[in-house]
């Protein structure tokens, strides 16, 4: 007797622990697309991406033959039917007008035709959306159909009523929450918007499928970063955001100070400016306040409210006048910080937002071994580059008892690891990116996982580029000059056709703390250059020799007192250390194919732009 096949085990519906709803990823991400859950009652929440309406055709039965009963006929109706002249007179004098109005009202108050709103709802957990059917009895189409409407719906999963790409849909039975949308002011429409225009509404752009996918890839890279270093026994260490040390020795930095406050009036204006309130917005407020004063002036019923409104209007006009005067005065003015007495500042000394966590992290490595840090870094360079941001998230790595070769090996392994994790865990988002942004993104990640990185010295790179025939670079290829993006991309894309590690750069191109090589001309540094995005990792071996480091600082004119604590590491238990830094946003560009780093972060900060 043939054994009966065991029935498939039905997986339960997984609820989001803290919101008591089903996340669409757990539903639509199943191997069967959710078919095994048909008939289940669930609650989902999300935002409407698109919608359409289907009207339900109702069949109206023909009216029955009207039989007039004596009790339904009034005396006037009998007289009108029998005496035509009397009927005409009654029309003139308005008899029967009331009944005509009643019939007209019946026509006007006719119930609208029933319909079903078909919504495509997304909750940000995955690429696909869930099709939801909402009967007009539950909510009118004008309430639930606009793009961006937030819904929390309880319903039953069923097979699609209309053929399409969906394998399941939700028949709504209850609407638990409805967040309406002001369509006239909502910046996102059904049409696909360019990424550049979305930067003006950073608080809404994650609702687009493209930005949501990029954000999930960003999240995966973050966790892959922590996963790699934790697996390798590194300790995660936090380094300061505010520092008195210039970590690079030559960077443009943001000054942190409280010495710019000049009293209550200036504080009020500063708080208005810092809140992002423009002069135009205040003038619009003045217009509204003026209307209110005019309305209150027309009546003597509330004199106290009129006086209060007049005072409020006066203060607002004074504020906008002061703000305009300050803006004119500050236009093109540079503040000379040399006149500041920083001993009276909050930290009693000059401080900055950190450019790099390298120096502080090195002090931790000198006690803890292998450490890494993951946090924001700031550069005040006014760059128009598509790969430059004022605020970035940097991965800094430092290893004790380690030399340059070890750091290059670690960087190589790290990049292969994160690429592998993306391909394994984010394939759905990568497939979407492949269709919308870059058709080669998955192939590029897989190639990075499997290929061996080419390693060449800076001198070798210069020589290889010099020998290129029939190619004229925009910048000359000379020893002692930094390789441009054009040079690097040519090495990666045209010559070696794979990732390249360029090491031992000319000493004048790198920070003061890197170890000087025996030739006295180059330093123990390296850059990892990837196709499409260029340099993603910059690493080095630190100078452990006190006398060499002191000479280098003196040569560059760096104030010794600012780096005394760093020099102390060379006086008390000095050790060889090496490491590298990675701007995470560059890795997001590599993994998505985006062209501008401002599209790789939720709230981009760059020269002239800090909208939110």
Cβ-based neighbour number of residue 68 at 10 Å: 8
Statement to judge: residues 514 and 587 lie in one domain:
yes
| Per-residue model confidence as pLDDT tens digits over 16-40 | 888 889 999 999 999 999 999 999 9
Confidence band (pLDDT; 50, 70, 90) for 119? very high
Over 50: is that where the pLDDT of 7 sits? no
Both tokens of 345, joined, read: 């500042």
Task: Tell me how far apart the alpha carbons of residues 296 and 567 are, in angstroms, rounded to a whole number.
Answer: 71
Statement to judge: residues 475 and 540 lie in one domain:
yes
Q: Which of 128, 158, 179 is the last residue of a domain?
A: 179
Higher pLDDT, 264 or 456: 456
CATH number, residue 224: 3.30.930.10
Cα 485 to Cα 251, 252, 490, 514, 533, distances in angstroms = 20, 21, 8, 23, 9
At residue 173, the pLDDT reads 96
Closest CA to 379 of 603, 592, 583, 565: 583
Task: Tell me how far apart the alpha carbons of residues 219 and 280 are, in angstroms, rounded to a whole number.
Answer: 38
- Sole residue written with tokens 């401002």: 598
User: Pairing between strand 534-541 and 577-583?
Assistant: antiparallel
Residue 9 lies in a domain: no
Q: 503 has which bridge partners?
A: 457, 526
Residue 558 lies in a domain: yes
Statement to judge: residues 580 and 476 lie in one domain:
yes
Higher pLDDT, 371 or 341: 371
Average pLDDT over residues 411-430: 96
Confidence band (pLDDT; 50, 70, 90) for 263? very low
R_g (Cα) of the chain, nearest Å: 35
Cβ-based neighbour number of residue 107 at 10 Å: 7
Q: Which of 304, 334, 364 is the last residue of a domain?
A: 334
* Average pLDDT score over the chain: 84
- When divided into structural domains, the chain yields a total of 3
Task: Tell me how far apart the alpha carbons of residues 593 and 191 are, in angstroms, rounded to a whole number.
Answer: 22
Higher pLDDT, 134 or 254: 134
Residue 198 lies in a domain: no
CATH number, residue 31: 2.40.50.140
At residue 20, the pLDDT reads 87
Statement to judge: residues 270 and 414 lie in one domain:
no
Residue 323 lies in a domain: yes
At residue 264, the pLDDT reads 44
Domain with 281, as residue range(s), is 261-334
Statement to judge: residues 438 and 568 lie in one domain:
yes
Phi (first) and psi of residue 532, to 5 degrees: 75, -45
CA atoms within 13 A on the CB side of 358: 22
Statement to judge: residues 451 and 314 lie in one domain:
no
Q: Which of 301, 334, 367 is the last residue of a domain?
A: 334
Phi (first) and psi of residue 119, to 5 degrees: -105, 140
Task: Tell me how far apart the alpha carbons of residues 9 and 7 are, in angstroms, rounded to a whole number.
Answer: 6
Return the HEC string of 424-450: HHCHHHHHHHHHHCCCCHHHHHHHHHH
Closest CA to 188 of 162, 160, 209: 209
Exposed / middle / buried, residue 134 (Cβ in 10 Å: 0-12, 13-18, 19+): buried
Task: Tell me how far apart the alpha carbons of residues 103 and 481 are, in angstroms, rounded to a whole number.
Answer: 91
Statement to judge: residues 464 and 587 lie in one domain:
yes
- Sole residue written with tokens 């959710």: 34
| Per-residue model confidence as pLDDT tens digits over 43-53 | 999 999 999 99
- Sole residue written with tokens 């452990």: 544
pTM above 0.85, yes or no: no
Average pLDDT over residues 523-527: 97
Statement to judge: residues 376 and 469 lie in one domain:
yes
User: Pairing between strand 255-256 and 351-353?
Assistant: antiparallel
Task: Tell me how far apart the alpha carbons of residues 107 and 123 are, in angstroms, rounded to a whole number.
Answer: 42
């Amino acid at each position: 007797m043939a054994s009966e096949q065991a029935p498939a085990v039905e997986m339960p519906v997984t609820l989001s622990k803290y919101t008591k709803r089903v996340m669409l990823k757990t539903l639509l991400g199943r191997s069967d697309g959710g078919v095994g859950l048909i008939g289940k009652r669930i609650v989902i929440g999300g935002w409407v991406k698109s919608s359409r309406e289907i009207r339900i055709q109702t069949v109206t039965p023909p009216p029955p033959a009207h039989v007039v009963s004596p009790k339904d006929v009034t005396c006037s109706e009998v007289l009108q039917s029998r005496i035509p002249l009397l009927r005409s007179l009654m029309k003139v004098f308005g008899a029967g007008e009331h009944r005509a109005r009643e019939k007209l009202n019946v026509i006007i108050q006719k119930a609208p035709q029933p319909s079903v709103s078909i919504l495509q709802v997304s909750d940000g957990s995955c690429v696909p959306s869930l099709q939801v059917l909402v009967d007009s009895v539950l909510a009118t189409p004008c309430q639930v159909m606009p793009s961006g409407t937030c819904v929390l719906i309880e319903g039953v999963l069923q097979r699609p009523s209309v053929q399409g790409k969906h394998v399941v849909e939700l028949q709504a039975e209850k609407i638990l929450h409805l967040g309406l949308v002001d369509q006239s002011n909502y910046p996102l429409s059904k049409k696909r918007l360019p990424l550049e225009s979305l930067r003006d509404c950073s608080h809404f752009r994650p609702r687009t499928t493209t930005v949501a996918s990029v954000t999930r890839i960003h999240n995966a890279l973050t966790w892959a970063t922590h996963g790699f270093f934790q697996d390798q026994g590194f300790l995660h260490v936090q380094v300061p955001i505010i520092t008195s040390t210039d970590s690079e020795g030559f960077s443009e930095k943001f000054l942190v100070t409280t010495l710019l406050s000049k009293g209550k009036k200036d504080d009020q204006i500063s708080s208005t400016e810092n809140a992002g309130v423009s002069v135009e917005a205040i003038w619009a407020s003045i217009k509204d306040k003026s209307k209110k004063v005019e309305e209150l002036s027309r009546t003597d019923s509330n004199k106290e409210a009129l006086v209060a409104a007049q005072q409020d209007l006066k203060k607002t006009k004074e504020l906008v006048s002061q703000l305009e005067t300050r803006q004119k005065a500050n236009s093109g003015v540079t503040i000379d910080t040399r006149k500041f007495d920083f001993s009276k500042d909050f930290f009693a000394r000059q401080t900055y937002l950190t450019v790099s966590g390298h120096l502080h992290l090195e002090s931790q490595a000198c006690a803890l071994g292998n450490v890494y840090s993951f946090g924001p870094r700031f550069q005040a360079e006014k760059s128009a580059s598509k790969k430059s941001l004022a605020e970035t998230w940097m991965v800094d790595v430092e290893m004790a008892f380690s030399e340059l070769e070890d750091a290059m090996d670690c960087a190589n392994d790290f990049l292969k690891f994160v690429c592998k994790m993306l391909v394994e865990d984010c394939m759905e988002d990568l497939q979407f990116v492949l269709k919308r942004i870059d058709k080669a993104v998955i192939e590029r990640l897989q190639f990075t996982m499997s290929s061996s990185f080419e390693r060449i010295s800076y001198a070798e790179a210069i020589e290889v580029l010099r020998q290129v025939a029939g190619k004229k670079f925009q910048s000359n290829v000379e020893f002692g000059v930094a390789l441009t993006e054009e040079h690097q991309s040519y090495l990666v894309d045209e010559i070696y056709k794979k990732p390249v590690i360029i090491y031992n750069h000319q000493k004048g191109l790198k920070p003061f703390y890197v170890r000087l090589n025996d030739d006295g001309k180059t330093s123990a540094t390296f850059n990892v250059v990837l196709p499409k995005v260029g340099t993603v990792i910059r690493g080095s071996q630190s100078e452990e020799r006190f006398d060499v480091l002191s000479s280098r600082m003196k040569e560059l004119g760096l104030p010794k007192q600012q780096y005394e604590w760093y020099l102390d590491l060379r006086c008390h238990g000095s050790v060889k250390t090496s490491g590298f830094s990675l701007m995470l946003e560059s890795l997001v560009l590599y993994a998505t194919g985006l062209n501008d780093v401002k599209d790789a972060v939720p709230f981009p900060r760059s020269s002239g732009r800090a909208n939110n």
